[in-house]
Chains A and B, each alone.
Chain A
């Protein structure tokens, strides 16, 4: 605010309240729905006062969607994606910002371009690679005629195969390999004065030491911001986990498991009435972990995104 007048204050508060309502009302409806019985929820009008069946509905959702195991899967996947992302992007940004090597800008732009290719756009080829992570190398060997040569020499055929379907690796890797984090780290590293790097050289520290003992501690708040964003991003994934895990019992994630709570209309199971109260209770459970992460880290998160000093 540049000026502070009662009128402007009232106006800004009104705008904030509108925003709050837009964000909060749907959440409230989810909560209310999760506390009603099936009959109550199917009786119009929509109730906005909570009922008394929250615990039953939570227990039912937990049981029906096997949320215990699924939450653990989601947690593993989200932490792995966020962690992998931090490691990958800090190291690549370090390389791009602090080293002069041929093809440096090319490398940067190649990484940058992947920003425009989110997983949804490249989902078919990504799936093909996940089905056999070594298929690109096989293709290269085939093209240069190495496989035929090898077969004629030794009689053995080369068939590289590394299947990532139904594995944590398959769930995580394609989500890690994107440019957002690299970009964030690069912007941060660019604000580090050259003198700091030179001072560490004068102190006898090599690049690895500089990275570990100076850059990483300095980018702590950045790291937390990135962790939060990536955790949410991975947690909320729907399409990719659905595609790559056919073994839902062992590798299904919490968000995809919610589907089990809503029998589709005209499903083969017959015209079940969807149990919206249980589905909403499931929603409540599934949105809790990310809420906790955001609540715990938001202090650092905000500092990380606005950090200039330090």
Chain B
């Protein structure tokens, strides 16, 4: 298996820079998910690792060897594409075995290995079908099988589940994770779906506009988002983010109410942003009142939407029943508060 090192990797298309000095060490066998909104440069980064895109600046090393100038085939990576990219004129077996054919492996050995892979991905009965005769989920499996057969050191996934329906996506997500646990290859998985990212990742890289904004375990990133962007991007429903002003070194004010936040060491009147997750708000008592504008019923919980300091504010209440109240009193418990500098967007305190 192989480690992957990105060292200040940059990518320019002409004059436009789409990757800004990304550095990352991926230990052997780890499952890393790159998460970010569409257009932030995730695919570009992945394709630079694969060798499909040239590296404008910086270095990428796989298993300790710098691969900047190596062809994709020499890097030992296999890739699963968003639209599967199966060869339409080849059968499932030929699709899966094509890499072996190119590598000049004998027909007999190919057949054995194809059979084994087909068994793993549950397509043993479909080997003679063409891709057009398969369902979306089956095509997805073929794409996985095609990547697996070479027993690569590195697996690269570019939003492989985004074309599946919701149920199948959950199922394939679990299968991908199981497969990873079994094969133990280093995996880099790109997605814009945060739930997919949180459930799959050993380690999560949140990308924004070509930068790796935060790197850490899913739980770490959820509990301690390092910037406003990450705070707003991770979590569903998203974290409430309310503008406020510093007052003293451990207090802020929102609409005239003082809230103790713990030490933040910002000068009086500094513009800050207070963040709190909808499920962390204490309801029933407190200084604030939410006028409920509408209510989302999730079954296990309800989301009450309203406003605080002109910003959307959501309360998540587990097990709520009965008629929707017009007003809800709530307070912001100190332990659950995240503080960010309004200008730089960086996290303050801890």
By CB atoms of chain A within 10 A, which of B51, B52, B132 has the most? B52
The 8 A CB mask of A217-233 against B (1 = contact, 0 = none) is 11000000000000000
CA distance A214 to B90 in the complex (A): 9
Residue A196 interfacial (CB < 8 Å): yes
Q: Is the CB of B83 within 8 A of A193?
A: yes
Of all chain A residues, the one with the shortest Cβ separation from B152 is A202
The residues of A that contact B98 with a CB separation of less than 8 Å are 200, 203, 205
Residues of B within 8 A of A214 (CB): 87, 89
- Residue A198 interfacial (CB < 8 Å): yes
Q: Are A195 and B85 interface neighbours, CB within 8 A?
A: yes
Determine the chain A residues whose CB is within 8 A of the CB of B85 once the complex forms.
193, 195-196, 198-199
- Nearest-CB distance from B100 to chain A (Å)? 9
Residue in contact with B78 in the complex, picked from A193, A195, A196, A202, CB distance below 8 Å: A202
- The count of A-to-B residue pairs whose CB atoms sit within 8 angstroms is 55
Q: Does B201 touch A at the CB level, under 8 Å?
A: no
- B116: CB under 8 A from chain A? no
- A64–B71 Cα distance when bound, in Å, is 65
- Contact residue among B72, B82, B88, B89 (Cβ-Cβ distance under 8 Å from A202): B72
Q: How far is the CA of A289 from the CA of B50 in the complex (A)?
A: 52
CB distance from A217 to the nearest CB of B (A): 5
In the assembled complex, how far is the CB of residue B46 from the closest CB belonging to chain A, in whole angstroms? 11
Note all chain B residues with C-beta closer than 8 A to A218.
88-89
Any A CB within 8 A of the CB of B73: yes
Given contacts A217-B89, A218-B89, contact A203 B83 (CB under 8 A): no
> Is residue B99 within 8 Å, beta carbon to beta carbon, of the partner chain?
yes
Contacts of A310 in B (CB 8 A): 88-89, 132
> Which of A196, A204, A217 is close to B103, meaning CB atoms less than 8 Å apart?
A204
Category for how many chain A residues contact B: 10 to 19
Given A193-B83, A193-B85, A196-B87: A204 touches B102 (CB 8 Å cut-off) = yes
* B89 and A199 form a contact (CB under 8 A): no
**Is B77 on the interface with A (CB-CB < 8 A)?**
yes
The answer for the CA separation of A218 and B87 in the assembled complex, in Å, is: 9
The answer to whether B146 touches A195 (Cβ under 8 A) is no
Residues 64-97 (chain B) with a chain A CB within 8 angstroms: 71-73, 77-79, 81-83, 85-89
Q: Which of B51, B52, B89, B99 contacts A203 (CB 8 A)?
A: B99
**Which chain B residues lie closer than 8 Å to A205 at the CB level?**
98, 102
**For the complex, is A299 an interface residue (Cβ under 8 Å from B)?**
no
A201 at the B interface (CB under 8 A): yes
* Known contacts A193-B83, A203-B98, A198 near B89 by CB under 8 Å: no
Inter-subunit contact A202/B102 (CB<8 Å) = no
- Would you call B89 and A195 a contact (CB within 8 A)? no
Cβ of A259 < 8 Å from any Cβ of B? no
Contact B99 A201 (CB under 8 A): no
Give 7 nearest A-B pairs by CB, closest first: A204-B73, A195-B85, A199-B85, A203-B99, A204-B102, A217-B89, A195-B81
The interface of chain A, by Cβ under 8 A from chain B, is: 193, 195-196, 198-205, 209, 214, 217-218, 309-310
